[in-house]
Amino acid sequence: MNRYPRDLTGYGANPPSANWPNGAKIAVQIVLNYEEGGENNILHGDAASEAFLSEITGAQPWPGQRHWNMESIYEYGARAGFWRVHRLLSDMPITVYGVATALARAPEQVAAMKASNWEIASHGLKWIEHKDMSEDEERAQIADAIRLHVEATGDVPRGWYTGRCSNNTVRLVAETGQFDYVADSYADDLPYWEQYEERDQLIVPYTMDCNDMRFGIQAGFTNGDQFESYLKDSFDTLYEEGCAGAPKMLSIGLHCRLIGRPGRIAALRRVIEHFKSHEGVWFATRLQIAQHWTQENPPVTQQRPSAMDLETFVSEFGGIFEHSPWIAEGAHAQELGPTHDTAQGVHQMLARIFRAAPEDKRLGVLTAHPDLAGKLAAAKRLTAESTAEQASVGLDELTDEERENFTKLNNDYTTKFGFPFIIAVRDNTKASIMAAFERRISNDRATEFGEACRQVERIAELRLQEKFSA
């Protein structure tokens, strides 16, 4: 089967209710990345020095050499930056993304994290790229990261974030079956579920925009005011959405060596004060958010159209376009994926097959539709869908005069165009259907053929909406 794995739909226009505790309008989640001592370094067995997220613009790896300046920048994060951040946030619920080898080299900092009841999630074994690792190598690193994390902190990590991940990372982490959440995603403002084999894994998305990493890249923040302004605007927008009834989550990413500098920490202090000046703000760890979401919005098991075999797909959707299973067969062969596992997603694929078909095939779909209030309806030989649709506006309870009018219009229309009059009944009333009948019969055939095709597509859309909401 031709399948596209990415989900470009997500929650769409109607996200689930977050129901944050105490009716909070927004959940604010602050992450402190602890990476110092876990970065690329030949002392750590790596091939070259670190080149990522530092004060050195355009830094490059030094193969086979230590980079003294880079090392000392990272050391600043552990020696000074961490403590400055800890003094500011020690009484708040913070999540630490802790690189296991860095935590093992930070006994004082780990003790401070635990004393503040901060959540310490796993940030992998080392702060290095995983994109070129084999599955076996990355799987082994995940296991080593968990083992060393427990040794360094005394606790099993409940959350995971690699950051410099591969396309296999989330699946491999989910396969362990031990994490309440994985954060290797930037795809949403709310948590969401992914399924790997038989396991439902909660994803609690992270952020790269509300992140002090932008102090370490060329297209980023150059001073604290920019960081402050961006975080405040992000908070205000999400808070407004929460007040309107759609609460979200604001993730903020910090790094000891970046935000811990004196010229930046002041901006963070002002941001926190801004957040605290509002009512209905829930400051939480990622684990608290994951546990809340699991309780409020547990995974829902349902058959996904993109995962159906051909027989099942045609059985489910072969009647959406009246008596035309070939449309469902054609749709199943297309590039379906998670983004098509909705009423609108299936409709788009079915409609594409219908629209691309030659005129004689589309005409066959039109002629498969029954007359409105015609002989088939009287004989109760309509499909279940057509029967319900016609009954919804009372076409099954016509007076003799109304039935006579419909019969005459049906005959005149079919004689002129060669196909029955088609209209999305659920969008109309008996009176508006009669008015459309009388108006459209004056069209030329090309115009009316196009209109009939549009009505067929609309009928299919309404049928799918009803099917998916059942």
Residues acting as catalytic residues: 369
Tokens of 143: 């296991």
Alpha helices in 31-134 (DSSP H): 68-76, 82-89, 100-104, 107-115
Question: DSSP of 20-42, one letter per residue?
Answer: -GGG-SEEEEEEEEE-TTSBS-G
* Amino acid occupying residue 318: G
Closest CA relative to residue 127, chosen from 152, 99, 103: 99
SS3 content of the chain, % helix, strand, coil (to 5): 50, 10, 40
DSSP assigned state of 394: T
Q: Count Cβ atoms within 10 A of the Cβ of residue 263 and give its class: 0-12 exposed, 13-18 middle, 19 or more buried.
A: exposed
Helix (H, G, I), strand (E, B) or coil at 141: helix
CA distance linking residue 355 with residue 453, whole number of Å: 8
Beta bridge partners of 38: none
Q: Give the burial string for 204-232 (b: 16+ CB within 10 Å, else e).
A: bbbbeebbbbbbbeeeebeebeebbebbe
Angle at CA of residue 50, ends 46 and 56, nearest 5°: 165
What is the 3 state secondary structure string of 97-115? EECHHHHHCCHHHHHHHHH
CA–CA gap between residue 57 and residue 76 (Å, rounded): 17
Burial 325-338 (b: 16+ CB within 10 A, else e): ebbbebbbebebbb
